[in-house]
Chain A
Amino acid sequence: MTSKQTPKVVALRSDAHGKLKVRELGTFEHVKNSHMVPVTAHEFTRLGAEYPIVFVKNSDTGQFQSVALLGLKVGENLFVDDDKWQGVFVPGSIRNHPFVLAPAGQDKEQLMVGIIENSPVVSEEEGNALFTDAGEESDYLKAKKETLVNFLESDQMTRAFVNVLAEKELLTQQSVTVNAGEEKINLTGLYIVDEKKLNELSEEEFADFRKRGFLPPLYAQLGSLHQLSKLAKMQATA
């Protein structure tokens, strides 16, 4: 598995998108085919209690990113049932819809606030206006942007965190076989924290991790793997 880009994401600009409006999120239609979503390190603890959190390689850059698994098969999200979300907490990147972090220009590492132009909740007729008649950002957009900016900061800190793990060789490849009722499903391309290597860190490195706030997400990631059984059960009864 590697990540795939959300379709038709564009960076938000008042000249191009001055007339757009966004309806409040009613359903989770837009993510019913997402078998995984990116999550920030700050969400690991909360989300790790419900979803397996793993690392995958970005297919464009080869770099690791953290994701929550929402399904065992590509294109299948086990948590969307009609309009309802079957879990307790909804991952931040989903709640932000239709706003996303989009690459700013050619450099895929620089991100800015963007919008999924072809989402059903985006139109020129219905919903909250993004820009005033004068071309200024509306209060709605300002509030959304603040959430996104916070998310962007968390995202950047998460990247730094994941890079440290990769550099210190604390990630290891994990092939997973899940028994979902009659079916045996193999998951490949997943990476997790290498618990053994984590325990072998020097006193200094470990103390450094503690100071930088790395310990809660690390252990949350390890603990979240038990949620694979939950996904198996959901798959079997789906």
Chain B
Amino acid sequence: MDNNKHSDAIKHVLVVGGGTAGWLSACHLARKLRAESADGVRVTLLESEDIPTIGVGEGTVPAIRQTLRDLGISEADFIRECDASFKQGIKFINWVDSPGEGEDHYYHHIFDYPDNSGGDLTRFWLSQPRPRTSYADSVSVQGRICDLGLGPKEITQAEYEGVASYAYHLDAAKFARLLTRHAVEKLGVRHMLANVQCARLGENGEIKAVVTDRYGDVEADLFVDCTGFSSLLLGQALGVPFVDRKDILFADYALAAQVPYPQLDAPIPSFTIATAQESGWIWDIGLPRRRGTGYVYSSAHTDHSRAEDTLRCYLGSQGEGAEVRRIPMKVGYRERFWHKNCVAIGLSQGFVEPLEATGILVYDATARMLADTFPTRAAVMELVARQFNRNVRYAWDRVVEFIKLHYCISRRKDSDFWRDNRESDTIPESLREKLQLWKFQPPTDYDFPSKLEVFNLPNYLYVLYGMEFETVLGDRDQHFADGPARARCAQIAEVSRRLMTQLPKHRELIEKIRRYGLQKI
């Protein structure tokens, strides 16, 4: 078929796969391309009734609020329908030293950025004698809010607004259902249920159609591959290779389990808990009626049976009778994310262990990028694809580096897993260089020059200094004027005290929102 015979316009986008990534892509595209209008671009989502979604993936980051708002979803509806709770950050337990007889060590990587309005607080904190207040508690109020089991907002605040920055924990299956309904009823997305058997390619190697069991050939101008790890279109049909990053991040399996609370009204932690283990770490996400947990581990350092024992030991009596599901993880990303007229969003694009909730984060951001830079004509597609590939590759490399940071500055020596993680040939060179510099001066914005860093200065500061990384300030830095910084820290402590009396307990807040909703203003 000669392409010149057809108009150059891109009229139909087919999203293949209906998990979180698929429906987020369909929603972003439909909204941006005005799918519900006759002169917009048609957006169809095709999914199988037989293939299950991955079934995990419950942590988000604050950017999701903007997405929900932009898509026109009410926060109260979202909280009710997706069994959501608030997430204010991640609590890392026992990442610094080998577990001993003393108390667990923990630090918070919170969402609120450090308050540097009165000058940089990091150097001031570094110059304080030990024992000193934790980094997070010196520069922000949110760590204390988390420790006290409080929510990030009051019931009288408008939707999507809070006293501190926040995101959510959610039920992935229910989230996909909410997005499905919203996409179809409000955004004009067409929904088809069928299995894709193969793809029909054109002369130039592009996808002309997917062949389905129920509808035969389904054609489109652009295909979005949201088929999960199998990457049916980009990986299999178009043969784009996978770049494995197990050389840097060792964890290649997850053992997932859902468990109940000891009592119905037990407090819900308003942060993800990530507890370091012998050969990996365990996630623990609290939804109102149950917890989602999982052990992320390296099969090169432990075996499946020992891994299950580790998880069950962590779960204790709550885990009795809990079904444990083993999920192999492909850690890495595709060599290209957009090839010809096929772009991958979701697990088909890339994946790393969920230590910093990067799954939904990257899929939401790249789906948005796809919608925002959507090629106006077929002739432009290759240029858009190249830009997309550059940006998404940059994003994944930064994600891999940031995750690695948590491992390579740990002091744990209780197993090969931890020692191997500090081998310099497993650490990306740019991270090694930055760490070398940071031994002598703290990170600055100049370490994160791109707009698309994914993780920026504040994120690195929370992890670096939460993990007690040693930055030895030179003589010159010891003598800077610390008056304003000291006053600011005192002020932060004061604001914390006030907020403690105002903010509701997390579970109470969720119950109220489920009952009374949230106002729009």
Which A positions have Cβ atoms within 8 angstroms of B? 2, 57-64, 166, 169, 171-173, 191
Contact = CB atoms under 8 A, between A and B. Distances in A.
Most chain B C-beta atoms within 10 Å of own C-beta, residue among A2, A58, A61, A64: A61
A62 B512 CA distance: 9
Most chain A C-beta atoms within 10 Å of own C-beta, residue among B157, B512, B516, B518: B516
Given A62-B512, A63-B516, A2 B521 contact: no
Contacts of B519: 57, 62-64, 166
Most chain B C-beta atoms within 10 Å of own C-beta, residue among A58, A63, A169, A171: A63
Contacts of B515: 61
Contact of B156 (A2, A166, A169, A171): A2
B520 A61 contact: no
B155 interface: yes
B163 to A, nearest CB: 14
Contacts of A58: 156
A163 B521 CA distance: 13
A8 to B, nearest CB: 23
A59 B516 CA distance: 12
Contacts of A59: 155-156
Nearest to A60: B155
Give the secondary structure class of B's interface. Answer: loop
Interface string B124-164: 00000000000000000000000000000011110000000
12 contacts: A57-B519, A60-B155, A60-B512, A61-B155, A61-B515, A62-B154, A62-B155, A62-B156, A62-B516, A166-B519, A172-B521, A191-B521
Contacts of B155: 59-62
Contact of B518 (A62, A171, A173, A191): A62
Contact of A57 (B156, B512, B517, B520): B156
A60 B516 CA distance: 10
Nearest to A63: B516
Interface in B504-521: 512, 515-521
Contacts of A62: 154-157, 512, 516-519
A61 B521 contact: no
A61 B508 CA distance: 11
Contacts of A171: 521
Interface string B483-521: 000000000000000000000000000001001111111
Contacts of B156: 2, 57-59, 62
Kindly list the 8 A-B residue pairs having the minimum CB-CB distance in the complex, ordered from nearest.
A62-B155, A61-B516, A57-B156, A62-B156, A63-B516, A62-B516, A173-B521, A62-B519
Most chain A C-beta atoms within 10 Å of own C-beta, residue among B157, B519, B520: B519
Interface string B202-221: 00000000000000000000
A64 B156 CA distance: 9
B131 to A, nearest CB: 39
Contacts of B517: 62-63
Contacts of A166: 519-520
Contacts of B518: 62
Contacts of B516: 61-63
B26 to A, nearest CB: 27
A1 to B, nearest CB: 11
Most chain B C-beta atoms within 10 Å of own C-beta, residue among A57, A61, A62: A62
A136 to B, nearest CB: 36
